[in-house]
């Protein structure tokens, strides 16, 4: 639709369109940009959590008899144990590989897991010990390259009732979640950050800070920050005052 008057556009029987500058800037475009940025930030924050996993179990020479109980147990730091049944009364054949999808009751952050295991209770007290050739928990749920929980695989023999579990991780070896987890409480070596995906991150996901840079002729001290060389260096201990040599006692006469 032409908004200019017709008389301005008709020249000698021909119609000439006048250039009208277009304003493509929409007042709400910035708002949508902010929303997209927030959505990306939220998705990155929850990317570490999972709601579904796959448990892979390779059985040994003995079958898992019908009616036996097999559970996946996940232990989180500061929380109770999470239990998920893997069997529902059915028997498992021997020398077989079984993949069981498990839907978690709440999002699980793998970084908070200290150990996991398989709890087994035989259906009969006369049942032989049950062998697990290999068992692991895949965090990708088959949607990508496998990502094993704790990067661990279970293997062993469980008696008629018991648990086969990984070794428990120490709190100091767990992947950081905030910068406070990486703080070494020292000022002069800089502020440590929690950035597990950074190239310079250590095994816990911590990145070292940049050492504090002081002005010329000053050094960093943990107690007072940057200080001059004279005040930063503790004074040398004073030499002990010389002590007078003990004088020899005057000889005493001993009566005959």
pLDDT-derived band at 185, boundaries 50, 70, 90 = confident
Domain count, the chain: 2
Please list, in sequence order, all residues whose beta carbon lies within 8 angstroms of the beta carbon of residue 169, skipping any fewer than 6 positions away: 113, 114, 115, 150
Q: What is the mean pLDDT of the chain?
A: 79
Task: Report the pLDDT averaged over residues 71-77.
Answer: 94
Segment 111-128, tens digit of pLDDT: 889 999 999 999 999 999
Q: Is 185 inside any structural domain?
A: yes
Query: Can you name the residues that pair with 203 across neighbouring β-strands?
Result: none
User: Is the confidence at residue 40, as pLDDT, over 50?
Assistant: no
| Cα separation, 227 vs 25, whole angstroms | 54
User: Is the confidence at residue 24, as pLDDT, over 60?
Assistant: no
- Residues 125, 189 within the same domain: no
- Residues 160, 179 within the same domain: no
- Residues 115, 187 within the same domain: no
Q: Is 243 inside any structural domain?
A: no
Task: Report the pLDDT averaged over residues 16-42.
Answer: 48
| Cα separation, 205 vs 193, whole angstroms | 9
Q: Is 147 inside any structural domain?
A: yes
Find, among 121, 148, 184, the residue nearest to 53 by Cα.
148
Query: Can you name the residues that pair with 54 across neighbouring β-strands?
Result: 101, 138
pLDDT-derived band at 182, boundaries 50, 70, 90 = confident
| Cα separation, 163 vs 71, whole angstroms | 9
pLDDT of residue 19: 47
Segment 42-59, tens digit of pLDDT: 444 444 689 999 999 999
- Residues 186, 139 within the same domain: no
- Residues 183, 133 within the same domain: no
Domain span at residue 106?
50-170
46-75 residues labelled b (16+ CB within 10 A) or e (exposed): eebebeebbbbbbbbeebbbeebbbbbebb
Q: Is 249 inside any structural domain?
A: no
Lowest mean pLDDT among 56-60, 162-166, 188-192, 236-240: 236-240
- Residues 55, 98 within the same domain: yes
- Residues 102, 207 within the same domain: no
- Residues 135, 224 within the same domain: no
pLDDT of residue 241: 65
Q: Is 252 inside any structural domain?
A: no
């Amino acid at each position: 639709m032409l908004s200019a008057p017709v008389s301005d556009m008709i020249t000698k029987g021909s119609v000439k369109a006048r250039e009208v500058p277009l304003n493509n800037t929409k007042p709400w475009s910035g708002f949508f940009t902010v929303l997209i940025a927030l959505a990306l930030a939220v998705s990155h924050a929850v990317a570490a959590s999972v709601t579904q996993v796959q448990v892979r179990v390779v059985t040994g020479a003995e079958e898992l008899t019908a009616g036996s109980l097999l559970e996946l147990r996940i232990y989180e730091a500061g929380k109770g144990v999470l239990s998920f049944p893997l069997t529902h009364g059915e028997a498992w054949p021997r020398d077989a590989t079984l993949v069981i999808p498990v839907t978690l009751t709440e999002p699980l952050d793998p970084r908070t897991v200290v150990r996991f295991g398989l709890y087994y209770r035989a259906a009969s007290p006369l049942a032989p010990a049950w062998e697990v050739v290999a068992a692991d928990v895949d965090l990708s749920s088959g949607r990508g390259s496998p990502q094993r929980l704790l990067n661990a695989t279970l293997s062993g023999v469980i008696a008629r009732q018991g648990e086969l579990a990984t070794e428990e991780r120490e709190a100091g070896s767990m992947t950081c979640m905030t910068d406070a987890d990486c703080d070494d409480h020292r000022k002069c070596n800089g502020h440590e950050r929690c950035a597990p995906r950074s190239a310079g991150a250590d095994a816990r996901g911590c990145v070292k800070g940049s050492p504090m840079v002081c002005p010329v002729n000053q050094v960093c001290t943990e107690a007072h920050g940057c200080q001059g060389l004279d005040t930063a260096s503790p004074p040398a201990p004073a030499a002990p005052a010389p002590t007078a040599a003990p004088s020899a006692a005057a000889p005493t006469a001993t009566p005959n």
